[in-house]
């Protein structure tokens, strides 16, 4: 057999594989490599933190600038008796003087004036919240909400939850400030006060399921399947903190199988949330069934560090008094809320409205404009 000559290894040039890792030549090199990676990660974290802080600082400065420009315009108009036509000339002259800035159109100058008038007497809310959210968010809140208390609520929620403009618009249009914390519950008698207050604010009434495009004829399994199929939008409607565990989660009790419609875990409440769907009007026996499920979940799934599991019963309608009576003597924390579909829309339009994802994509294209303050 003819012996094949072994090829000599190809020399490694300095330009080749500069980012590739060489195997350690001795045991200490491996430890050094781990230390280097940890050091690199710490530097990356510092840089990312600085970038975020810089972005917040730039936004705060921009919002403060717009507030002060609005103040100057209002004061000058009052002193000199100038009309709105001066805003056209100001827009042209400021845009010419600062061509790199896109926020000096006549429309945006008018918004600055409105912005100042809205918050001139609310220095605390301006400094702690309004100045920390983007200009586009502030304009949407001003355009859609006329009451100062409602504006303040959505500003705080935007800051707390980091809502995009699309999500903020969705929450305003769905009247979240009226629905948040409105569910019928027995939390005050079944949970510690701090947990009770937080749990109450987590639940809504009604829940807006317009995105499912289901009508009044929808059955429980139809609703359940659609919610899972649209889990991202369902989580948006549920609110911050919900983590999906499963659908038709099996419970083995007394050698019999029982199935929970939807099971979640809430990261802030630190507890399981059992959701049961009912296609019709609320009936008192539904509360008993959900109470049974909660007992089983607490015994079989709940960790020692978890808080008591919470039940949420979603039905198409409810009588307030009957719901309160049904929960009065139940010792497990349960909330009862209605669900709302897009029944007011014509059948041929249901499902044809833009989705959250489509809104995010479209509005994302304007992000650059928003950062410059034009939006």
pLDDT digits (tens, 9 = 90+) for 123-167: 778 878 899 999 999 999 999 999 999 999 999 999 888 888 988
Give the pLDDT score at 304. Answer: 93
Number of domains present in the structure of the chain: 2
Range of the domain at 67: 55-161
Report the pLDDT value the prediction gives residue 149, as an integer from 0 to 100: 93
Q: How crowded is residue 293: how many other Cβ atoms within 10 Å of its Cβ?
A: 24
The answer to whether residues 280 and 230 belong to one domain is: yes
Whether pTM exceeds 0.85: no
C-alpha closest to that of 171 among 127, 134, 137: 137
Q: Are 203 and 335 in contact (CB under 8 A)?
A: yes
Q: Is residue 88 one of the residues assigned to a domain?
A: yes
Burial of 186 (0-12, 13-18, 19+ CB in 10 A): buried
What is the pLDDT at residue 218? 65
**Same domain (yes/no): 198, 324:** yes
Is residue 161 classed as helix, strand or coil in its secondary structure?
helix
Which neighbouring-strand residues pair with 275?
262, 312
Residues 338 and 225 both lie in one domain: yes
For 251, residues 6+ apart whose C-beta sits below 8 A from its C-beta are: 257, 258, 259, 260, 293, 296, 297, 300
**Higher-confidence position of 28 and 57:** 57
Residues 328-368 have pLDDT tens digits of 999 999 999 998 875 433 444 344 444 444 444 444 444 44
190 and 328 share a domain?
A: yes
Tell me, yes or no, whether 148 and 272 share the same domain.
Answer: no
Query: Distance between the two ends of the chain, CA-based, in angstroms?
Result: 79
Query: Mean pLDDT, to the nearest integer, of 43-65?
Result: 82
Q: Are 331 and 310 in contact (CB under 8 A)?
A: no
If pLDDT is split at 50, 70 and 90, which confidence band does 30 have?
Answer: low
Instruction: Assess whether pLDDT exceeds 50 at residue 176.
Output: yes
28 pLDDT tier (thresholds 50, 70, 90): low
Same domain membership, residue 279 and residue 154: no
Q: Return the top range by mean pLDDT from 7-21, 156-170, 279-293, 361-375.
A: 279-293
DSSP string, 204-239: BSSEE-GGG---TT--HHHHHHHHHHTHHHHHHHH-
Q: What does the block give as tokens for 140?
A: 């949407």
Please report the pLDDT score of residue 216 as a whole number.
54
At 5 the three-state DSSP class reads: coil
| Judgement on whether residues 144 and 185 belong to the same structural domain of the protein | no
pLDDT at 330: 94
Q: How far is C-alpha 57 from the chain's CA centre?
A: 22
Question: Do residues 220 and 266 both lie within one domain?
Answer: yes
Q: Which is nearest to 335 in space by CA: 205, 237, 177?
A: 205
What length does the chain have?
375
């Amino acid at each position: 057999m003819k012996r094949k000559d072994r090829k000599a290894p190809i020399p490694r040039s300095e330009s080749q594989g500069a980012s590739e890792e060489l195997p350690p030549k001795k045991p200490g090199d491996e430890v050094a490599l781990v230390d280097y990676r940890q050091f690199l990660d710490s530097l990356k974290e510092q840089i990312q933190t600085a970038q975020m802080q810089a972005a917040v600082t730039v936004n705060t400065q921009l919002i403060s600038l717009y507030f002060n420009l609005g103040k100057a315009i209002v004061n000058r108009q009052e002193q000199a008796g100038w009309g709105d036509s001066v805003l056209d000339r100001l827009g042209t002259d400021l845009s010419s003087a600062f061509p790199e800035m896109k926020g000096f159109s006549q429309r945006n100058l008018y918004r600055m004036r409105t912005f100042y008038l809205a918050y001139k007497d609310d220095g605390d809310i301006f400094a702690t919240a309004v100045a920390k959210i983007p200009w586009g968010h502030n304009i949407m809140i001003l355009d859609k909400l006329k009451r100062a208390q409602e504006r303040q609520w959505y500003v705080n929620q935007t800051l707390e939850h980091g809502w995009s403009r699309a999500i903020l618009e969705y929450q305003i249009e769905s009247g979240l400030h009226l629905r948040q914390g409105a569910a019928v519950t027995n939390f005050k008698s079944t949970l510690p006060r701090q947990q009770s207050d937080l749990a109450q604010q987590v639940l809504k009434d009604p829940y807006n399921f317009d995105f499912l495009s289901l009508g009044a004829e929808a059955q429980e399994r139809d609703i359940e399947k659609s919610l899972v199929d649209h889990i991202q939008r369902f989580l948006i409607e549920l609110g911050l903190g919900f983590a999906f565990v499963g659908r038709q989660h099996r419970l083995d009790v007394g050698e019999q199988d029982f199935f929970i419609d939807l099971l979640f875990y809430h990261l802030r409440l630190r507890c399981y949330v059992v959701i049961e769907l009912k296609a019709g009007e609320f009936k008192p026996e539904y509360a008993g069934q959900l109470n049974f499920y909660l007992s089983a979940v607490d015994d079989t799934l709940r960790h020692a560090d978890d808080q008591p599991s919470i039940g949420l019963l979603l039905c198409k309608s409810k009588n307030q008094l009957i719901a309160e009576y049904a929960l009065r003597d139940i010792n497990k924390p349960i909330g009862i809320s209605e669900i709302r579909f897009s029944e007011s829309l014509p059948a041929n339009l249901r499902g044809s409205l833009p989705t959250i994802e489509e809104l995010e994509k479209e509005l994302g294209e304007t992000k650059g404009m928003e950062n410059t303050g034009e939006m």
